[in-house]
Amino acid sequence: MTTLGELLGFLEELAPLELAQPWDNSGLLVERQGEEISRVLLALDITPQVVQEGARRQVQVVFSHHPVIFSPLRRLELANPAMQLARSNIAAVCLHTNLDAAALGVNTQLAKAIGLQQVRPIGGQAIGVLGELSQPLLPSRLAQLVKERLGAPFVEFCAPESPVPVSTLGLCSGAGGEFAQAAFACGAQAFLTGEIKYHDMLDAQTRGECILAAGHYYTEALVMLPVKKLLEQRFDQVEFLLSESQCAPGKIV
C-alpha cells in the first residue's frame, strides 16, 4: 500500500517547499478522504477538463505544476476546479516555483530538451540556469532549434542588428523574463523564457540583447514526463498517468 503522505514525502525530497518563492502556493492544496493511493494523474494545469479526466480514470491524486489555488478565493463556485476536486474526493498536489528551482526540475529539463551542456544555476535570487550549446548558433537559428525541440507553434525573439553566434544560453521557464539580466550578468549571450513583457523585450532590443520567448506552456509542460519516471521508480505499486486533456490554453491562427 502507498499513502498520500509517502507521495508528499518523496515530492518534498524532489522539490523542497523551502525553494518556493514567498508569493507562491505550493504543496497539498486539496485534501481527500482516505490515505491509500493507487493512481495519480499528472498535468501542467488543473482545469475542469483535467478534473473530469481524473474522475473518469479513477485517480486519487492530481499532481500539477501550476497551483489549483493561487489567488485568494472569496467564494467556491461549482465550476472551480478545486471545488470539483473536493466533490470527487481527489487530492491536488501542486509544485510550482520549488519545482522550477529543483535540481531535477523544470529549468533543468528545459535545458536538457534544448541540448545544453555544462548546465549550472544562474545564481543569486534567479531560479533559472545557464548552459552551453553544442555549437554556436545565430539567434534566428537558435530560435528555430528551440521551436523544434519544444514543439512550440512559434518562438518570438529579438537580437542585435549585427547578431553574433550564441554559445552560452540562459533560461527560465514560464514567465521568467525578470531573470534575464541576472543571466546576462553571469555570461549568457542569449536568454530563453516562456513569455516576456513587450516593453522588456523592447528594452532588450535597444540594449542589443538576444531574448527568446517560446510560450509559457511549451517551456514547462515537458517536465511532466521526467517527473512521471521519477515517481514510477519510487512507487512501483502506483500507476502514474500523463493527462490526455492538458494543452496550451490559447490557439494560434
For residue 229, the surrounding DSSP H or E stretch is helix 224-234
Structural domain count of the chain: 2
Residue 252 counted as domain residue: no
Q: Domain range spanning residue 34? A: 2-99
Residue 136 counted as domain residue: yes
**Are 28 and 92 part of one and the same domain?**
yes
139-145 long-range contacts (CB < 8 A, ≥24 apart) are 139/163, 139/166, 139/190, 139/210, 139/212, 142/166, 142/169, 142/190, 142/210, 142/212, 143/212, 145/114, 145/115
**Are 189 and 122 part of one and the same domain?**
yes
CA 135/CA 92 separation, integer angstroms: 42
pLDDT the model gives residue 123? 83
Residue 127 counted as domain residue: yes
pLDDT the model gives residue 166? 98
**Are 115 and 210 part of one and the same domain?**
yes
**Are 108 and 208 part of one and the same domain?**
yes
**3-class DSSP state of 63:** strand
Report residue 188 as a C-alpha cell: 549568457
CA-based torsion, 2, 13, 24, 222: positive or negative: negative
pLDDT the model gives residue 7? 98
Neighbours of 73 (CB within 10 A): 11
Residue 234 counted as domain residue: no
CA 192/CA 110 separation, integer angstroms: 10
CA 152/CA 219 separation, integer angstroms: 9
- Asked if 209 contacts 158 with a C-beta cutoff of 8 angstroms, the reply is yes
**Are 94 and 147 part of one and the same domain?**
no
- Asked if 194 contacts 173 with a C-beta cutoff of 8 angstroms, the reply is yes
What predicted TM-score, i.e. pTM, was given to this entire model?
A: 0.94
- Asked if 140 contacts 120 with a C-beta cutoff of 8 angstroms, the reply is no
User: Angle, nearest 10°, between helix axes 4-14 and 224-234?
Assistant: 120
Number of H helices, E strands in the chain: 10, 13
Of the three residues 68, 99, 130, the one that is the final residue of a domain is: 99
**Are 15 and 42 part of one and the same domain?**
yes
Of the three residues 99, 123, 138, the one that is the final residue of a domain is: 99
CA 247/CA 223 separation, integer angstroms: 14
* Cα separations in angstroms, 85 against 32, 52, 156: 9, 9, 36
**Are 34 and 110 part of one and the same domain?**
no
- Torsion angle defined by CA atoms of residues 217, 222, 227 and 232, in that order, rounded to the nearest 10 degrees: 120
Residue 243 counted as domain residue: no
**Are 83 and 160 part of one and the same domain?**
no
Give the chain's largest Cα–Cα span.
62
**Are 126 and 170 part of one and the same domain?**
yes
Residue 113 counted as domain residue: yes
**Are 83 and 45 part of one and the same domain?**
yes
Residue 237 counted as domain residue: no
CATH value at residue 133: 3.40.1390.30
pLDDT the model gives residue 56? 98
**Are 36 and 140 part of one and the same domain?**
no
Count of alpha carbons within 13 angstroms of residue 131, beta-carbon side: 21
Of the three residues 99, 129, 148, the one that is the final residue of a domain is: 99
pLDDT (tens digit, 0 to 9) for every residue of the chain, 253 residues total? 899 999 999 999 999 999 999 999 999 999 999 999 999 999 999 999 999 999 999 999 999 999 999 998 899 999 999 999 999 999 999 999 999 999 999 999 999 999 999 999 998 778 899 999 999 999 999 999 999 999 999 999 999 989 899 999 999 999 999 999 999 999 999 999 999 999 999 999 999 999 999 999 999 999 999 999 999 999 999 999 999 999 999 988 8
Report residue 56 as a C-alpha cell: 473518469
Residue 238 counted as domain residue: no
**Are 112 and 207 part of one and the same domain?**
yes
Residues 6+ apart with CB under 8 A from 249: 45, 217
